[in-house]
């Protein structure tokens, strides 16, 4: 079947075999030359081999330590051993891509020199970050885990960088959470201490009233009035006078005693609640838990992962062969046009 390639000329695909046979020598020479060139230029001298190391992590749930361990409310309790989901995996990738982790890795392994970046260049950091991103990648898998891939010309260095990045994940996330947790703890601490001092002041006031003889206003008032009436009926003047003094104190300070006593009971409940909140905030601020489950740590690769020489040779050879066919077809068609 003929395919029109332009007005006045065509290319008969049914004669493709004859076409290839006719031009077998140039096509063979070009393909062999391309294959040899690919073999030569994919050698370590031209393309330094790189080794790949991988760490696979699962994110943890976002449960706080205090709510998981200290909360008395069953509805607010969360499982610290639960794996994170898609949201947590995406958050993990964002943290792994953070400037904080990248800066620490670059400084620790002196990647500026390791990547042979010209330190006098105006765009040295742009080149460094581009090289960093080309060698270090983070990807969420279909199982909601996160994979850290590191390529480097040094197999051991690739493994060390991958493992260090996984370790720095906890450092970076803890720093972010601790900043907020410490502020929350300071707020809870201030409220708790203020309430504790207030309760102490109420207790001191109540103790002063007790020192004046008021221990239980309701029962004392009932008893004193009963004894007072009885002493009057029996004509006991001394006892009556003593009871009058007690009743006078009771009537003068009894109301304050009842108010302070009831207020103290309420404020102690509030103090207990604030103390629990303060303890939870303190645990969140001071305790450190890992934010990942490590499935596989990185290890020193025994074989290079890049470049894949056979694939380079195959792609180069096939590309050269197809390109040669297109060029020859184009030349033949131009020749036909010229003959006309």
pLDDT tens sequence for the chain (340 residues): 444 444 444 445 557 777 777 778 888 888 888 888 878 876 766 667 889 999 999 888 765 655 555 555 544 445 556 766 788 889 899 999 999 999 999 999 999 999 999 988 889 999 999 999 999 999 998 888 899 999 998 999 999 999 999 999 988 888 888 888 888 889 888 999 999 998 999 888 888 877 777 777 666 666 666 665 666 666 666 766 766 676 677 667 777 877 888 888 888 888 988 888 888 888 877 777 777 888 889 899 888 776 667 787 889 889 988 888 888 888 877 777 766 5
What are 218's two structure tokens?
A: 């309701």
pTM summary value: 0.65
Cis preceding linkage at 307, omega within 30: yes
Q: Burial of 54 by CB count in 10 Å (0-12 exposed, 13-18 middle, 19+ buried)?
A: middle
Yes or no: say if 112 and 119 are a contact pair by the CB < 8 Å rule. Answer: yes
Domains and CATH numbers, the chain: 25-183+289-318 (3.30.1890.10), 186-286 (no CATH)
Yes or no: say if 177 and 281 are a contact pair by the CB < 8 Å rule. Answer: no
């Amino acid at each position: 079947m003929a395919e029109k390639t332009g007005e006045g000329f065509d290319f008969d695909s049914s004669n493709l075999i004859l076409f290839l046979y006719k031009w077998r020598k140039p096509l063979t020479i070009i393909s062999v030359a391309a294959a040899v060139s690919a073999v030569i230029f994919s050698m370590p001298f031209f393309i330094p081999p790189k080794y790949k190391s991988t760490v696979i992590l699962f994110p943890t749930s976002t449960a706080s330590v205090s709510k998981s361990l200290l909360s008395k409310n069953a509805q607010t309790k969360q499982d610290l051993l639960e794996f994170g989901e898609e949201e947590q995996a995406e958050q993990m990738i964002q943290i792994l891509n953070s400037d904080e982790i990248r800066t620490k890795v670059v400084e620790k392994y002196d990647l500026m020199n390791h990547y042979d970046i010209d330190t006098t260049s105006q765009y040295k950091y742009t080149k460094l970050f581009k090289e960093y991103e080309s060698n270090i990648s983070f990807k969420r898998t279909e199982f909601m885990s996160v994979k850290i891939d590191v390529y480097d010309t040094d197999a051991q260095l690739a493994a060390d960088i991958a493992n260090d990045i996984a370790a720095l994940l906890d450092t970076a996330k803890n720093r972010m959470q601790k900043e907020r947790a410490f502020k929350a703890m300071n707020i809870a601490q201030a409220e708790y201490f203020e309430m504790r001092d207030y309760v102490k002041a109420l207790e001191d006031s109540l103790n002063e009233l007790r020192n004046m003889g008021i221990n239980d206003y309701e029962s004392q008032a009932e008893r004193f009035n009963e004894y007072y009436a009885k002493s009057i009926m029996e004509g006991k003047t001394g006892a009556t006078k003593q009871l009058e003094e007690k009743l006078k104190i009771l009537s003068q300070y009894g109301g304050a005693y009842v108010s302070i006593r009831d207020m103290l009971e309420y404020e102690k409940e509030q103090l207990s609640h604030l103390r629990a909140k303060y303890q939870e905030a303190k645990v969140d601020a001071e305790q450190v838990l890992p934010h990942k489950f490590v499935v596989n740590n990185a290890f020193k690769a025994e074989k290079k992962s890049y470049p894949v020489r056979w694939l380079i040779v195959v792609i180069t050879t096939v590309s050269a062969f197809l390109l040669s066919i297109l060029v020859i077809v184009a030349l033949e068609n131009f020749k036909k046009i010229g003959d006309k």
